[in-house]
Amino acid sequence: MEKFESLYHALANLDGYIFPNEIVLNWDVLIVMYPYITGLVAGAFILASLNRVFNIEALKPTYVISLLTALSFMLVATMPLITHLGQPFRFYEMLITPHLTSAMAIFGFVYLWYLMVVLLLEIWFDYRYDMVIWSKEKKGFMRFIYKALTLWISDTSVASRKTDDKLGYFITVVGIPSAFLLHGYVGFIFGSIKANPWWSTVMMPVIFLFSAMVSGIALVMFIYMMINFIRKQKNDILCLDTIAKFLFYILIVDFALESLDQIHRIYEADESFDILKILVRGKLFFTFFIMQIGVGTLFPLATIGFFQFYKPKEHIRKIMYLIVSICVLVGIFYMRWNVVIGGQLFSKSFLGFTSYKADLAGGGSALLALLWFIVPFLILAFLLWLLPPWKKAPHVEHIE
């Protein structure tokens, strides 16, 4: 009886009519975490690519950091999904017998492609020379680790470094569409559900993609400042200004797309519109208008937009950038929340609502979701220790 307690509570607090099976909200905060983390990966990677492919020199200090951030979040990206499964130990079936008409099954392969072929390779090419050097400096176990990481290649010639650079560039170019694919696909998982009018829109993959970029860029900005704070280094203000500028542009696109989606929904006003209107004005009011639009979009837009015309003193800008990056991260989290949870709050009969409260007392999903958000930071710390970007040799072009 106890495990159904919150369900009985939900049953007693139904608004209108809802199909009896819909009282259970199957996709909880863990599934909110999944597109959130995947989005951070895609966004961080795209920021790294901006530097490399489009040669934006000012972003150089964040290049490796964004790659490592992307990797550390990528490694846990599937964990919220897997821990959410009713039968977690059967997850391998998704790779063994993937059902090709299912967006979720294809995601497994998109994920593997992205992790193995794009992220790992790019980082590997970037670090290969340094790892060879480190393997020569270190002794014992660490020496073995670095040697294994280089795949026992000990070539340090300039020619080999140039090859690394060329191949790394190629991977980055392949990586951009891959990152688009990765997060566009997550959007498609939701956007392709025709039963749910809140999800079912062709805009969904595009919106997910741009919000992913926004969140990833904000995350790298945050992590860059944190790393410098911990290492007691000075932030490169030009770099921060440039990141903020990109954040500003992409945030505008993201906001425009989301607005377009909503305006289209409001103007078309199909049969589901009445219930969605009540949903957004009622149960989603706080998370949608205040958190997602207010805190996550309008405030950062206003702040960074203001900085484009008038630049206050450096330390004020830094503090504001820190606040803005946190606001964006929170806002995008609530954007995912509004999609995932919001899409399940109303009945597919369009006649009523259920309610959702994360079962904190049960120690369930909310804590687990928090865990999957903290673990990437630990992985990142480990990666920064293993592959410190500040100990890297100067880029090959600078040697000649």
Residue appearing with tokens 């009886």: 1
State the nearest-atom distance from the C-beta of 11 to other proteins, in Å.
Answer: 6
Return the number of the residue (34 or 224) whose C-beta is nearest other proteins: 34
State the nearest-atom distance from the C-beta of 287 to other proteins, in Å.
Answer: 19
List of residues 6+ apart from 218 with CB closer than 8 A: 43, 247, 300, 324, 325, 326, 328, 329, 332
Return the number of the residue (308 or 349) whose C-beta is nearest other proteins: 349
Return the number of the residue (108 or 184) whose C-beta is nearest other proteins: 108
Alpha helices in 282-388 (DSSP H): 299-309, 314-340, 342-345, 365-386
Return the number of the residue (300 or 343) whose C-beta is nearest other proteins: 343
- Residue 346: burial class (beta carbons within 10 Å; 0-12, 13-18, 19+): buried
- Token pair, residue 255, equals 């906001």
Buried/exposed 276-311: b ≥16 CB within 10 Å, e otherwise: bebbbeebbeebbeebbbebbbbbbbebbeebeeee
Instruction: Identify the helix (H) or strand (E) that includes residue 9.
Output: helix 5-12
State the nearest-atom distance from the C-beta of 196 to other proteins, in Å.
Answer: 6
State the nearest-atom distance from the C-beta of 6 to other proteins, in Å.
Answer: 11
Return the number of the residue (190 or 333) whose C-beta is nearest other proteins: 190
Q: Which DSSP category does 272 fall into?
A: T
State the nearest-atom distance from the C-beta of 160 to other proteins, in Å.
Answer: 7
Return the number of the residue (81 or 239) whose C-beta is nearest other proteins: 81
State the nearest-atom distance from the C-beta of 176 to other proteins, in Å.
Answer: 20
137 and 102 Cβ atoms separated by less than 8 Å? no
Contacts to other proteins by CB under 8 A? 3-4, 7, 11, 16-17, 19-24, 26-27, 81, 84-88, 90-105, 108, 116, 121, 124-125, 128, 151-153, 155, 160, 163-164, 167, 189, 192-196, 343-344, 347-352
